[in-house]
Amino acid sequence: MSNTSLSDMNDMDDRDSSRALNNDFGRDSSIHYPRFSVMERRNSSIGGGSVASSKTYSVGRRPFNRNRSSLASTSKYVKAVDDIAKLERRSLNICWVKYLRNLDDQREYLPPSKYALPENMPNQSFLSQLQTHMIRNFIVSTRNLWSRLLDSSILVLASALVCGINGTLEVTNEDISTASFYILMISDDYRPLMSQFSQLFNYAMSSNSDLELFYLTIGVIVSLLVALQAARAMVDKRVEFFREAGSGNNISAYFIALNITTMIEYMLQMALVAAVVFWLRNTLTNYSVFFVFFGLLAWTSSAWSFFFAGFIPPQNLSVMIGFFVTFSGLIFGGGLPPFDYGFIYESPVNEVLCGVVSPTRFFTESMVVSEYRCLPEQSGFTYNAAIATNFSESESSFSSLNYGLRDVDSIIDRSCSGWFWGALPFFLVGLTLRVIACILFHVQHRDEQAKRSFWDDMKRHGKIKDYTLVAGACCLAIGVVGCTVYSILKGEMTEATYSR
């Protein structure tokens, strides 16, 4: 008995198929029907027999139609299977009815009475969710108190080591002035005297490299440790965040609550760090300056962790944060050439680039200027406009060292209360990064939140309210970016300053 393939018989009816088998292979030919699961497979060769017989039979026949879902007799087979299933279900139903009639107590088998569907529970308001998340974060922080204390101890120890290596503050030294006293004796013309200012006040200006190096070093170390803490917080709460988002809770409420609770922890840590540095450094300015700028340093450094967590995988987040904060803090912080403060103030593009990218750019400059502003007028950094009538802002030691060139009018006034021109752009950089990070959390990782992709969801289920929220978020992001750029470039530099 020979076998044949059915691959070329799907366009024939049963009579043509039988006639073809009899003519080509004799009356002893038979068709092997496979299992139903095999017959459901499309575009597969089904049947018995040798490959040669299948090829011989297919010669001169119509090609296999791949658009057909089954073979010639599949429909009959499927119909027979459905009929058998119906008979089995009917038989089971009849047996159950007979069994139920013979029961003495049928109450537990009766259908329940009609009842109203439960009402949909309304979602909590934004403020309620924000409060709930904050309380829960504080409880978790309290349970992990030992870990928080260990992190704080590492920050304080690192700051103390940097202060111990660099020693106490020395804003002046014993460098001998190289000014020409012959020129200084000329009294009828003050203009030649201006050329000797850099040599005359060299005893105070020459200490700027040590000041820059100290604040740049401690700024990079503190910002790196804080950024790594923020990265760990994002990775630890990643599953919790996706669970909250998949449950329909407000992502923005969760994100804002996490920022608030973590910043409270970081501000407490910065209070300790500022106190240690203020005490060991023996600084000229007051403690509030240290607290404000160390707090802003933690604010901006942690913002970079939230920003990168929106699109960097969690297993690579710590490495990315460590590289970026260290590299940008050292290279674009203004304390090292070639990207020093002269390069930063060379063009608005450089100012915006270094101000946004580097967490230490405003920190280092603000702390150095705050120290020098406390010096008396004879140091060349500050002066009394009522006495020095021929002295302009462009001739001060601040302009010679390229410090605070956007605020030359107020920087020369002597004060030991600090210099806060860079506080506003410093704060707005961190705020901008957080706004962009919040938008990224709404758009990225939608599959892990049990949601469709953002664009697909907006295309299928987007309403006017949703489009309004998207437009509002875009306007908010553009607004904070614009405010940040404006705060960095606010103030005008004189022509003398531009020519440096």
The residue among 462, 144, 49 whose CA lies nearest residue 7 is 49
User: Counting beta carbons within 10 angstroms of the beta carbon of residue 299, is it exposed (0 to 12), middle (13 to 18) or buried (19 or more)?
Assistant: buried
| Token pair belonging to 117 | 């569907």
Lowest-pLDDT range of 144-153, 223-232, 246-255, 336-345: 246-255
pLDDT tens string 295-334: 999 999 999 999 998 888 888 999 999 999 999 999 999 8
Is the predicted pLDDT of residue 12 greater than 50, yes or no?
no
pLDDT tens string 402-435: 898 998 888 888 889 999 999 999 999 999 999 9
pLDDT tens string 107-166: 777 777 888 877 777 778 888 989 988 999 899 889 999 999 999 999 999 999 999 999
pLDDT band at 357 (very low <50, low <70, confident <90, very high): very high
Mean per-residue pLDDT for 60-89? 66
Is the predicted pLDDT of residue 6 greater than 50, yes or no?
no
Please indicate, yes or no, if residue 25 is contained in any of the structural domains: no
pLDDT band at 263 (very low <50, low <70, confident <90, very high): very high
Please indicate, yes or no, if residue 154 is contained in any of the structural domains: yes
* Buried residues in 312-329 as b, exposed as e (16+ CB within 10 A): beeeebbebbeebbeebb
Please indicate, yes or no, if residue 130 is contained in any of the structural domains: yes
Query: Rounded to whole angstroms, how far apart are CA atoms 279 and 46?
Result: 88
Considering the chain, what is the average pLDDT of its residues?
Answer: 80
User: Counting beta carbons within 10 angstroms of the beta carbon of residue 63, is it exposed (0 to 12), middle (13 to 18) or buried (19 or more)?
Assistant: exposed
pLDDT band at 14 (very low <50, low <70, confident <90, very high): very low
Please indicate, yes or no, if residue 14 is contained in any of the structural domains: no
Domain count, the chain: 1
What pLDDT was estimated at residue 305?
94
Is the predicted pLDDT of residue 28 greater than 70, yes or no?
no
pTM over 0.95, yes/no: no
pLDDT band at 456 (very low <50, low <70, confident <90, very high): confident
169 CA to centre of own chain: 37
Please indicate, yes or no, if residue 380 is contained in any of the structural domains: yes
Lowest-pLDDT range of 47-51, 128-132, 156-160, 234-238: 47-51
Say which residue, 17 or 106, is predicted with more confidence: 106
Question: Domain range for residue 151?
Answer: 126-490
Please indicate, yes or no, if residue 337 is contained in any of the structural domains: yes
Please indicate, yes or no, if residue 52 is contained in any of the structural domains: no
| Token pair belonging to 256 | 């804002």
Please indicate, yes or no, if residue 28 is contained in any of the structural domains: no
What pLDDT was estimated at residue 175?
62
Lowest-pLDDT range of 107-111, 183-187, 285-289, 353-357: 183-187
Is the predicted pLDDT of residue 500 greater than 50, yes or no?
no
Is the predicted pLDDT of residue 181 greater than 50, yes or no?
yes
| Token pair belonging to 20 | 């073809």
The residues, ordered by sequence, that sit 6+ positions from 193 with a Cβ below 8 Å of its Cβ are: 183, 184, 186
pLDDT band at 40 (very low <50, low <70, confident <90, very high): very low
Range among 23-27, 117-121, 392-396 rated most confident: 117-121
Say which residue, 442 or 63, is predicted with more confidence: 442
pLDDT band at 73 (very low <50, low <70, confident <90, very high): low
Query: Rounded to whole angstroms, how far apart are CA atoms 214 and 329?
Result: 13
CA angle 367, 355, 222 (to 5 degrees): 50
* Buried residues in 440-473 as b, exposed as e (16+ CB within 10 A): bbbeebbeebeeeeeeeeeeeeeeeeeeeebeeb
Mean per-residue pLDDT for 274-299? 94
What pLDDT was estimated at residue 277?
95
pLDDT band at 177 (very low <50, low <70, confident <90, very high): low
Is the predicted pLDDT of residue 256 greater than 50, yes or no?
yes
Is the predicted pLDDT of residue 16 greater than 80, yes or no?
no
Cross-strand pairs, 47: 5
What pLDDT was estimated at residue 430?
96
Say which residue, 270 or 310, is predicted with more confidence: 270
What pLDDT was estimated at residue 455?
79
Say which residue, 94 or 275, is predicted with more confidence: 275
Say which residue, 249 or 90, is predicted with more confidence: 90
